[in-house]
Amino acid sequence: MQTKNKGADTMCLRVENHVILEVDNNVPLVQITVDGKMIAAKEGEPILAALLANGIKINRYTLKKQEPRGLFCGIGQCTDCAMVVDGKPNVRTCITPVRDGMVVETQNGLHKEVERK
Ligand code: FES
**Type of residue numbered 86:** D
Question: Ligand 1: which residue has its CA nearest to atom 3?
Answer: 76
Residue 16: the pLDDT is 83
User: What is the spatial distance between Cα 1 and Cα 17, in angstroms, rounded to a whole number?
Assistant: 5
**Type of residue numbered 42:** K
What CATH number should be reported for the domain holding residue 43? 3.10.20.440
For a mutational test of ligand 1's pocket, the pick from 47, 56, 57, 81, i.e. the residue with the most ligand atoms closer than 8 A to its C-beta, is 81
Question: Looking at the domain assignment, is residue 10 inside a domain?
Answer: no
Residue 2: the pLDDT is 42
* Model pTM score: 0.83
Question: Looking at the domain assignment, is residue 9 inside a domain?
Answer: no
What is the whole-number distance in angstroms between the Cα of residue 65 and the centre of ligand 1? 20
Q: Where in the sequence is the domain holding 107, given as residue range(s)?
A: 29-115
pLDDT, tens digit (0-9, with 9 covering 90-100), for 72-117: 999 999 999 999 999 999 999 999 999 999 999 999 988 775 555 5
User: What is the spatial distance between Cα 12 and Cα 4, in angstroms, rounded to a whole number?
Assistant: 5
91 in ligand 1 pocket by Cβ < 6 Å?
Answer: no
Question: Looking at the domain assignment, is residue 3 inside a domain?
Answer: no
**Stretch 52-66: mean pLDDT:** 95
81 in ligand 1 pocket by Cβ < 6 Å?
Answer: yes
